[in-house]
């Protein structure tokens, strides 16, 4: 090589190394965020005003020295305010809205548990890269799925009835008048229960492959007074029955399936003519370059690589759609499944709301042609809920 060919821009090297260190700092700080959430430190700081470290340790019954160090870590991350004269720490209310106020539209802390799950299963991911690409759901700790539920519950509470469904032509009117809805991949039933409360004239059936998740969903329905317009069943996408339904929804579930096209075909079979399909997917762009440096794209592509894509590859069908990739790819899937009028109804910057309508009558009852089965359980333990 000549000197010209080996010349290196040292300023660019330094700038990039700084960026990498900044990313490492965020990853390390996420561990402290999880500790603050799990041990109730954020809850204790919320609305408490300035507190000394010893007082926070007393209130939480945690080790004073570690609490002091945790407070310092949170301060240098910019999460807490520190008064050096009084040696007190405070969680601003604006920060609490993201970290500890469950009813807040900015409550996002559940995502931290998902990130923790990436590190807990790095060995499985390495094996997937070297092998068939698949990781079973059961390999992930339960905290991941609870984190997913917490994270998406914020969107359900503040966007489902306010933004997502109003963007779909005629959907809210149908729900107001009374219609039959299938929620595919319902997990613990958070969205299903919300819909049932919001539209009491309609009936809602949640389906999920994971029996423990359906058990949780049924318990939550019982805690909510056992609404007569809601039910939950264990079934994969091929076993959704008996139908027919007027509306089928997939909330953050379509990209996780081993064969999303077959699942959509089954949904088409179950829908009445002109029935509505709604698929809410994580936000992404058709062009990869349009997501560069977007924090949502950065998180979702990482989670897609470590969780969503390998769990899809582990299932029969092994489609591997991935969490991202933009709306155009998903709209093509709807068309391939026989739907008409496929369109992007809303782009919130956090989610994509896709919708379509069933074409010619295709309802076939139990035992349709979807041919989908769920992921085999990890040898470590049964598969957890899907969200």
Tell me the pLDDT of the chain (387 aa) as tens digits.
455 567 999 999 999 999 999 999 999 999 999 999 999 999 999 999 999 999 999 999 999 999 999 999 999 999 999 999 999 999 999 999 999 999 999 999 999 999 999 999 999 999 999 999 999 988 999 899 889 999 999 999 999 999 999 999 999 999 999 999 999 999 899 999 999 999 999 999 999 988 888 999 999 999 999 999 999 999 887 778 888 999 999 999 999 999 999 999 999 999 999 999 999 999 999 999 999 999 999 999 999 999 999 999 999 899 999 999 999 999 999 999 999 999 999 999 999 999 999 986 544 443 333 323 333 334 333 333 333
Paired with 245 in beta bridges are 271
**CA-wise closest residue to 264 among 195, 324, 180, 321:** 321
How many Å separate Cα 24 from the centre of its chain?
A: 23
**Tens of pLDDT along 338-369?**
999 999 999 999 999 999 999 865 444 433 33
Domain boundaries, the chain: 3-99, 110-357
The answer to whether 221 and 189 are in contact (CB under 8 A) is yes
User: Look-up: residue for tokens 């991911």?
Assistant: 125
Alpha helices in the chain (DSSP H): 3-6, 10-38, 41-45, 53-60, 64-76, 93-99, 110-120, 122-130, 142-155, 171-177, 190-198, 211-223, 260-270, 295-303, 309-313, 327-336
Fold match flag (3-99 vs 110-357): no
Q: Which CATH number fits domain 3-99: 1.10.10.10, 3.40.50.11540, 2.60.40.1250, 1.10.3720.10?
A: 1.10.10.10
110-357 topology per CATH: Rossmann fold (3.40.50)
**Tens of pLDDT along 196-242?**
999 999 999 999 988 888 999 999 999 999 999 999 999 887 778 88
């Amino acid at each position: 090589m000549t000197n010209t060919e080996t010349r290196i821009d040292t300023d660019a090297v330094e700038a990039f190394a700084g960026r990498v260190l900044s990313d490492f700092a965020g990853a390390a700080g996420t561990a402290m965020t999880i500790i603050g959430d799990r041990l109730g430190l954020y809850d204790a700081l919320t609305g408490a005003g300035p507190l000394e470290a010893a007082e926070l340790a007393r209130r939480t019954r945690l080790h004073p020295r570690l609490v002091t160090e945790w407070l310092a870590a949170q301060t240098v991350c910019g999460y807490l305010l520190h008064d050096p004269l009084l040696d007190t720490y405070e969680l601003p209310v604006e920060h609490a809205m993201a970290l500890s106020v469950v009813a807040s539209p900015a409550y996002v802390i559940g995502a931290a548990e998902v990130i923790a799950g990436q590190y807990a299963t790095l060995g499985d991911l390495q094996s997937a890269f070297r092998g068939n690409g698949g990781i079973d759901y059961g390999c992930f700790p339960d905290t991941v799925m609870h984190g997913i539920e917490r994270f998406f519950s914020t969107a359900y509470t503040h966007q489902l009835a306010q933004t997502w469904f109003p963007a779909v032509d005629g959907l809210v009117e149908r729900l107001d008048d009374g219609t039959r809805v299938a929620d595919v991949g319902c997990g613990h039933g958070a969205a299903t229960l919300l819909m049932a409360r919001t539209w009491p004239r309609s009936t809602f059936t949640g389906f999920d492959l994971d029996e423990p998740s359906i058990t949780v969903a049924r318990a939550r329905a019982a805690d909510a007074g056992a609404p007569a317009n809601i039910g939950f069943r264990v079934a994969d996408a091929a076993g959704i029955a008996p139908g027919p339904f007027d509306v089928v929804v997939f909330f953050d579930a379509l990209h996780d399936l081993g064969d999303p096209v077959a699942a959509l075909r089954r949904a088409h079979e179950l829908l009445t003519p002109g029935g509505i399909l709604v698929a809410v997917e994580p936000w992404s762009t058709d062009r990869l370059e349009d997501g560069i440096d977007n924090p949502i794209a950065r998180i979702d592509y990482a989670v897609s690589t470590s969780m969503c894509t390998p769990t899809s590859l582990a299932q029969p069908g092994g489609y591997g759609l991935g969490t991202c990739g933009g709306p155009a790819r998903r709209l093509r899937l709807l068309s391939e499944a026989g739907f008409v009028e496929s369109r992007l109804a809303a782009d919130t910057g956090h989610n994509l709301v896709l919708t379509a309508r069933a074409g010619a009558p295709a309802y076939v009852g139990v035992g349709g042609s979807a041919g989908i089965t769920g992921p085999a359980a990890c040898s470590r333990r049964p598969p957890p809920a899907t969200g």
